Amino acid sequence: MPNFTHSKARVILHLDMNSFFASVEQAHDPKLKGIPMAVAGNPKERRGILVTCSYEARALGIYTTMSVGEAKRICPELVIVPPDHEKYRVASNAVFAILRTYTDLVEPVSIDEAYIDITEIGGLTDAMNIAMQMQQRILRELDLPCSIGIAPNKFLAKTASDMKKPMGITVLRKRQIQDVLWPRPVIEMHGVGESTEQRLKELGITTIGQLATVDEHLIKVKLGKNGQRLRERANGIDNRPVDPEAAAERKSVGSSTTLPIDETELQPCLAVLARLAAKVAKRLEKQQLAGQVIMIQMRTSDWRNQSRSRTVMNPIYKEHAIYEEAKDLFQRHWEGDPIRLLGITVSNVIPMSELHVQLSIDSFEHYAKEDQMEQLVSRLEKKFGPNAVKRGFRER
């Protein structure tokens, strides 16, 4: 491990792999380098959605979430390959292994990004040198490009890593935020989605600077703890530590119940799963968590316990999504034995503020529709009051 000079000032790096899926494909097949290429869920289906694309493709106006057909119209010679998630997982682990040769204070937050605390191995004095070494090693050893943000906390480091891509290294200091961040639209701030942007707009807040200077009591009343947190971030305040155990130790969230009778019919079991999904979703919302693994537990009348799980591409936290996954697992694996107990658990959870959606052929159109639905529900509840709208479940 390098012997860097000690510095007391907290210095956090945020490493973000550039066009990760596409870059991994290019590393495995050099013929894909230097040309417009993209990863899509079903390359033969023109309505398929691009998961990611190379920077050569982006230069032509092609972007993630564009349909294959539309991308092909812009660039008929665009090369499209199907995703290979095992390949990406192996590459991700290799990246994190390199980072851990510098320090144990590495916190992966998604398959293609991580926070690294370098305070004790050089701090600000050697931050640029450390970042350059990491970036060049990952490129040399894995043939993968990345960008790195350097800052005194997680929020500013993540913001900095977005400022120069690909292969950028950016330092963002607290004293720079008024000039660099405050003029930007609030939607460009990490942690602000379209729904939050709309609520802020109703308060007359359209820039990060306006969010930073809004009355503290007002933002708390209107947006609760999340509003307070966003206001702090807009002022460059973020005291979250880099926690190497966060991904492994973040607790799962679940709920189970013993049935009043040993159940042998499908519909009553599904009704129980629906109630459990609602409970799990409520607990996830309360803790502001989302999870990537969903598991169901089944106990039969003869006290045999069974569990079945599935990893989903995009972390879930909404009631209907949890129910649909649990329902599908149950229908696939229940063999008709009388059921005494049912349970649902969501694990591999991450804070919603760190939610990183990897769009896929299956998920993009779903997420687009869900976003529209959420906006509609929000408008109806605003008009008729909280809980005026109850989400139903579609049989499939």
Give a yes or no: residue 275 inside a domain.
yes
Give a yes or no: residue 369 inside a domain.
no
Check whether residue 202 and residue 140 sit in a common domain: no
Tokens, residue 172: 């963002």
Domain at 44, CATH number: 3.30.70.270
Q: How far apart are CA 18 and CA 159, in angstroms?
A: 15
What single letter denotes the amino acid at residue 178? Answer: Q
Check whether residue 284 and residue 334 sit in a common domain: yes
Q: Report the pLDDT value the prediction gives residue 37, as an integer from 0 to 100.
A: 97
Q: Report the pLDDT value the prediction gives residue 14, as an integer from 0 to 100.
A: 98
Which string of b and e fits 256-274 if b means at least 16 CB within 10 Å? beebeeebeeeeebbebbb
Check whether residue 266 and residue 205 sit in a common domain: no
Give a yes or no: residue 373 inside a domain.
no
Check whether residue 146 and residue 193 sit in a common domain: no
Check whether residue 142 and residue 210 sit in a common domain: no
Check whether residue 220 and residue 356 sit in a common domain: no
Give a yes or no: residue 375 inside a domain.
no
Q: Report the pLDDT value the prediction gives residue 177, as an integer from 0 to 100.
A: 96
| CB contact set of 48 (below 8 Å; sequence gap of 6+) | 40, 41, 42, 67, 68, 361
Domain at 200, CATH number: 1.10.150.20
Task: Give the pairing of strands 305-316 and 289-300.
Answer: antiparallel
Answer yes or no: pTM beyond 0.75: no
Q: Is 113 an annotated catalytic residue?
A: yes
Check whether residue 190 and residue 156 sit in a common domain: no
Check whether residue 130 and residue 255 sit in a common domain: no
Check whether residue 68 and residue 96 sit in a common domain: yes
Which string of b and e fits 47-75 if b means at least 16 CB within 10 Å? ebbbbbbbbbbbeeebebebbbeebbeeb
Check whether residue 167 and residue 205 sit in a common domain: no
Q: Report the pLDDT value the prediction gives residue 384, as an integer from 0 to 100.
A: 60
Give a yes or no: residue 268 inside a domain.
yes
Using omega within 30 degrees of 0 as the cis cutoff, is the peptide bond preceding 166 cis? yes
- Total number of domains in the chain: 3
Check whether residue 215 and residue 78 sit in a common domain: no
Q: ∠4-5-8 over CA atoms, to 5°?
A: 120
Q: Report the pLDDT value the prediction gives residue 171, as an integer from 0 to 100.
A: 97
Please report, in tens digits, the pLDDT of each residue of the chain (396 residues total): 444 444 468 999 999 999 999 999 999 999 999 999 999 876 555 557 888 999 999 999 999 888 899 999 999 999 999 988 788 889 998 999 999 999 999 998 888 999 999 999 988 889 999 999 999 999 999 999 999 999 999 999 999 999 999 999 999 999 999 999 999 999 999 888 888 899 999 999 999 999 999 999 999 998 888 899 999 999 999 999 999 887 655 568 889 888 888 899 999 999 999 999 999 999 998 888 898 889 999 998 887 888 898 888 788 999 999 999 999 999 999 989 999 999 999 988 887 766 654 444 444 444 444 445 555 555 565 556 555 555 454 433
Final residue in a domain of this structure, among 154, 172, 190? 172
| Strand order from edge to edge, sheet including 289-300 | 253-263, 339-351, 289-300, 305-316
Binding site: which residues?
A: 16, 112
Q: Report the pLDDT value the prediction gives residue 307, as an integer from 0 to 100.
A: 87
Phi, psi dihedrals of residue 80, rounded to the nearest 5°: -120, 130
| List 25, 56, 107, 113, catalytic entry | 113
Q: Report the pLDDT value the prediction gives residue 355, as an integer from 0 to 100.
A: 63
Check whether residue 255 and residue 197 sit in a common domain: no
Binding site for Mg(2+): which residues?
A: 16, 112
Q: Which domain holds residue 268?
A: 250-364
Length of the chain in residues, anyone?
396
